[in-house]
């Protein structure tokens, strides 16, 4: 059996047309845009911005966002062409199966676990930090941090035991997803309105408190003095990727986590009412809106507080902390930001869990994962067993690992998926140029090549520990594929048949 057997487009279109047995089509273009914004504006903006600025890019984190956005724009155009042409749950996994074959599809599907499952875990960890901030740090350190975290207070070292609040929010949102996609979309739309309003208020009010000295020097200089962290260790900026343009590139890889929401939209393609029109609008619309907000937000945040402060105080709750320290009279805004962030993080987790369950749904339908992952609830028609298993898996990660580790792994999984999608859309254009494409990537292959180069550069800039951990994850995935999935594939005899125009009309 070939390792590169492809899933035929005919079978994909038939699967998409089966609205009675498959996922329910309830999402409009505006629902998809809100879904994208719900995933995009969250930990990336409120947590990873401060992490990238404090440790690598300084005030030039705004440039990091621009670099990350450019890479996302190239990949987003490729996602939009695929999503309008192949309106099936599964995102990059499904696209790779159609263009490059089963082995590559499996690798991508396995990498998407790093993106969605670890993404949900990362944001739930940040959710816990902000909840503690809201309660003035009344939650004991031991019960809101992982066993690998520690803090020295007044000479006393506190070690984490487990992150209980993170587990709680994952349970609540998993139950909501089991209840139904449309209900989840309604909740997400309300949350999106609230958190975008708070972001705009912070930009408008914070602009008055920008200290020009905090933006000079704009890039972290090579001779920047080290910073002593709260655990007593020294953080040096001498590394190539902790100052100058190297720091900006590493910062782009870190804040890239902030953009994973737009491709999560593509995982809901099978639940869109008019996917060939609405998917490009949802993907590109949410990306453009959030990029503008990101650049403005990071400019204000690094102007209000010096970048080194983000390494010393606040950490995950750096935004609220900056307001309390540098915007006198606006403690109410810090509280409002904290509440909005909690709501915003909830919507991010919601979309990440939705995306992961839909990827597993597609992989299970193809026989690469056990049938439980694609079993739908008799009433709600949602993959409820997959949601429960994800809760256990993501909950274990969120309670036991710190957010910086999970965040960087999420970024590398996302970047890898983007690279494959850019290559895949180019391959599809060459091999099957006559297929109907409701949306076409302009200037192909230039856009695809630039997407690969920009995303590849950000992968290289990530630290070696993250790269090695991701590699180990891929090795585990290959063992599962050759030991279980390959022999159980439902597409052993698929032919890559080019569909007719009438096949597309069935959608």
**pLDDT tens digit sequence for 220-247:** 999 999 988 876 788 999 998 899 999 9
Q: pLDDT for 324-338, tens place per residue? A: 899 999 988 888 878
Which position has the higher pLDDT, 177 or 304? 304
Over residues 107-135, mean pLDDT = 84
Measured in residues, the chain has a length of 507
Of 362, 500, 363, 502, the closest CA to residue 432 belongs to 500
Single pTM value for the model: 0.73
Give me the helices (H) in 41-117, please.
43, 49-52, 61-85, 92-99, 102-112
Residue corresponding to tokens 């969250």? 42
Question: What tens digit of pLDDT does each residue of 239-284 get?
Answer: 988 999 999 999 998 888 777 766 667 666 667 777 777 878 888 8
Among 74-78, 88-92, 496-500, whose mean pLDDT is lowest? 496-500
Q: Is residue 372 helix, strand or coil?
A: helix
Q: How far apart are CA 84 and CA 262, in angstroms?
A: 14
- Between CA 385 and CA 377 the distance in angstroms is 8
State yes or no: pLDDT of 191 exceeds 70.
yes
Say yes or no to pLDDT of 500 above 50: no
pLDDT score of 414: 81
pLDDT recorded at residue 506: 43
Domain residue ranges of the chain, discontinuous segments joined by +:
24-163+179-344+410-505
DSSP string, 436-473: --SS--TTTTHHHHHHHHHHHHHHHHS-HHHHHHHHHH
Band (502; pLDDT cuts 50, 70, 90) = very low
| Whether the predicted pLDDT of 380 surpasses 70 | yes
Mean pLDDT, rounded, for 176-197: 76
Which of 281 and 40 is assigned the larger pLDDT? 281
Architecture label for domain 24-163+179-344+410-505: Up-down Bundle (1.20)
**Helix, strand, coil tally for the chain in percent (to 5):** 70, 5, 25
In 491-507, which positions are buried (b, 16+ CB within 10 angstroms) versus exposed (e)?
beebeeeebeeebbeee
CB 242 within 8 A of CB 220: yes
Please report the pLDDT score of residue 212 as a whole number.
Answer: 93
Per-residue pLDDT of 342-365, as tens digits, reads: 887 887 788 788 878 888 888 898
| Residue pLDDT, tens place only, 205-224 | 999 999 999 999 999 999 99
The top-scoring range by mean pLDDT among 43-47, 62-66, 137-141, 416-420 is 62-66
21 CB-near residues (< 8 Å, 6+ apart): none
């Amino acid at each position: 059996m070939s390792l590169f057997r492809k899933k035929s487009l005919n079978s994909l279109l038939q699967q998409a047309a089966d609205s009675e047995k498959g996922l329910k089509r309830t999402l409009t273009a505006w629902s998809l845009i809100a879904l994208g914004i719900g995933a995009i504006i969250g930990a990336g903006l409120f947590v990873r911005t401060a992490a990238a600025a404090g440790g690598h890019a300084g005030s030039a984190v705004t440039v990091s966002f621009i670099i990350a956005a450019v890479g996302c724009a190239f990949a987003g155009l490729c996602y939009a062409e695929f999503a309008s042409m192949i309106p099936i749950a599964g995102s990059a996994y499904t696209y790779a199966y159609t263009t490059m074959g089963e082995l590559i599809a499996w690798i991508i599907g396995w990498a998407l676990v790093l993106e969605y499952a670890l993404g949900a875990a990362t944001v739930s960890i940040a959710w816990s930090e902000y909840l503690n901030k809201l309660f003035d740090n009344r939650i004991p350190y031991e019960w809101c941090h992982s066993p690998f975290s520690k803090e020295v207070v007044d000479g006393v070292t506190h070690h984490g035991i487990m992150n209980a609040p993170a587990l709680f929010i994952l349970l609540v949102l998993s139950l909501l997803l089991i209840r139904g996609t449309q209900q989840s979309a309604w909740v997400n739309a309300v949350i999106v309105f609230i958190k975008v309003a708070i972001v705009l208020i912070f930009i408008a009010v914070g602009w008055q408190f920008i200290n020009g000295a905090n933006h000079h020097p704009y890039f972290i200089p090579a001779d920047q003095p080290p910073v002593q962290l709260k655990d007593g260790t020294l953080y040096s900026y001498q590394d190539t990727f902790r100052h100058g343009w190297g720091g900006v590139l590493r910062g782009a890889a870190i804040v890239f986590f902030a953009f994973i929401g737009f491709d999560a939209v593509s995982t809901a393609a099978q639940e869109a009412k008019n996917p060939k029109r609405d998917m490009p609008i949802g993907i590109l619309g949410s990306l453009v809106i959030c990029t503008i907000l990101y650049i403005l937000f990071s400019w204000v945040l690094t102007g209000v507080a010096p970048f080194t402060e983000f390494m010393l105080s606040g950490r995950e709750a750096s935004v609220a902390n900056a307001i309390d320290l540098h915007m006198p009279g606006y403690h109410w805004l810090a509280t409002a930001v904290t509440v909005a962030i909690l709501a915003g993080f909830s919507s991010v987790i919601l979309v990440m869990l939705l995306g992961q369950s839909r990827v597993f749904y597609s992989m299970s339908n193809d026989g690469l994962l056990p049938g439980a992952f694609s079993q739908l609830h008799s009433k709600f028609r949602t993959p409820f067993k997959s949601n429960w298993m994800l809760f256990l898996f993501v909950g274990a990660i969120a309670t036991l690992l710190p957010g910086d580790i999970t965040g960087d792994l999420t970024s590398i999984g996302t970047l890898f998926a983007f690279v494959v999608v850019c290559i895949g859309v180019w391959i599809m254009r060459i091999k099957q140029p006559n297929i109907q494409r409701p949306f076409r990537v302009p200037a192909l292959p230039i856009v695809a090549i630039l997407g690969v180069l920009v995303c590849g550069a950000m992968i290289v800039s990530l630290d070696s520990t993250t790269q090695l951990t991701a590699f180990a994850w891929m090795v585990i995935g290959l063992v599962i594929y050759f030991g279980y999935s390959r022999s159980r594939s439902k597409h052993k005899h698929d032919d890559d048949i080019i569909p007719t125009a009438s096949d597309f009309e069935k959608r």
